[in-house]
């Protein structure tokens, strides 16, 4: 009887070891798949199709043409007017005809407000855009960054979200560098 008990106990221990070994393999697979998925589907892409307004308040279906570089940033619905004022100030400081500022609405309140009064912003705005490109810009924003898009090469560079006038001047110099 004791021999049978011993065998049963041993069997259970072996079964636990077997399942645990498979669990470890599965956990490694899961981790690998997860990181592959995130890496493969997280390369930056700029929006091609949009619904928004240019700086003059005219409706546009693509990013404004005729600019060599653009600053793509999120207009936060939670501090809508403050963000609009800040970026209006940036647009006013901009002396280069080759640079444009493009704000992307991040919530329904911003979309509604911009639709109602597009002239409130003195920069281009995006209310709707390509799913994947929207994720790219939101992803940068979640890291406290904005994107500088070079229209000629389509290269996107992430820079820190300007929190002050000095930071904004730095961004202006990046935007106008070697144009």
Partner 1 sequence: MINGQRWLRYASILAVLLNVVAIGMHYYIAHQKRTLGVLPQGAMIKPVTGIDSLGNYVTESTVSAYSCHVVRYTSIRCPSCRRDEPSWNHFDTILRNHGCDSTILVPAATDAPRNVAPLPNRRLVPVVPAFVARQTNLLATPSTIVFDHDWKVVWSTLGMLQAGDTERALSALE
Q: Which residues bind partner 1 (CB under 8 A)?
A: 2, 5-6, 8-9, 12-13, 15-17, 19-20, 22-23, 26-27, 30, 33-34, 37-38, 40-41, 45, 48-51, 74, 104-108, 111, 127-135, 137-138
**Distance in angstroms (rounded) separating the CA atoms of residues 145 and 123:** 18
Nearer to partner 1, 34 or 85 (CB): 34
The nearest distance, CB 134 to partner 1, in angstroms, is: 4
The nearest distance, CB 24 to partner 1, in angstroms, is: 9
Nearer to partner 1, 71 or 172 (CB): 71
Buried/exposed 123-142: b ≥16 CB within 10 Å, e otherwise = bbbbbebeeebbebbeebbe
- Is residue 102 within 8 A of residue 71, CB to CB? The reply is yes
The nearest distance, CB 3 to partner 1, in angstroms, is: 11
- Is residue 149 within 8 A of residue 69, CB to CB? The reply is yes
Nearer to partner 1, 29 or 169 (CB): 29
**Distance in angstroms (rounded) separating the CA atoms of residues 106 and 126:** 10
Nearer to partner 1, 102 or 172 (CB): 102
The nearest distance, CB 14 to partner 1, in angstroms, is: 9
Q: Residue holding tokens 């997280």?
A: 42
Nearer to partner 1, 33 or 93 (CB): 33
Bridge-based pairing of strands 69-75 and 99-105 is: parallel
**Distance in angstroms (rounded) separating the CA atoms of residues 135 and 69:** 20
Give the residue among 144, 80, 138, 135 at the shortest CA–CA distance from 109.
Answer: 80
The nearest distance, CB 101 to partner 1, in angstroms, is: 16
């Amino acid at each position: 009887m004791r021999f049978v008990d011993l065998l049963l106990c041993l069997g259970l221990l072996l079964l636990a070891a077997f399942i645990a070994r498979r669990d470890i393999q599965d956990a490694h697979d899961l981790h690998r798949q997860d990181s592959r998925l995130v890496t493969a589907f997280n390369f930056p892409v700029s929006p091609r199709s949009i619904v928004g307004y240019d700086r003059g308040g005219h409706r546009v279906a693509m990013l404004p043409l005729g600019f060599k570089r653009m600053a793509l940033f999120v207009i936060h619905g939670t501090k809508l007017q403050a963000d609009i004022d800040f970026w209006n100030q940036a647009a006013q400081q901009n002396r280069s005809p080759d640079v444009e500022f493009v704000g992307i609405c991040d919530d329904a309140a911003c979309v509604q407000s911009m639709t109602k009064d597009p002239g409130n912003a003195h920069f281009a705005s995006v209310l709707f855009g390509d799913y994947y490109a929207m994720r790219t810009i939101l992803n940068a924003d979640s890291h406290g960054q904005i994107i500088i898009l070079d229209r000629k090469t389509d290269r996107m560079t992430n820079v820190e979200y300007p929190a002050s006038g000095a930071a904004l001047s730095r961004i202006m110099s990046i935007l106008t560098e070697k144009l």
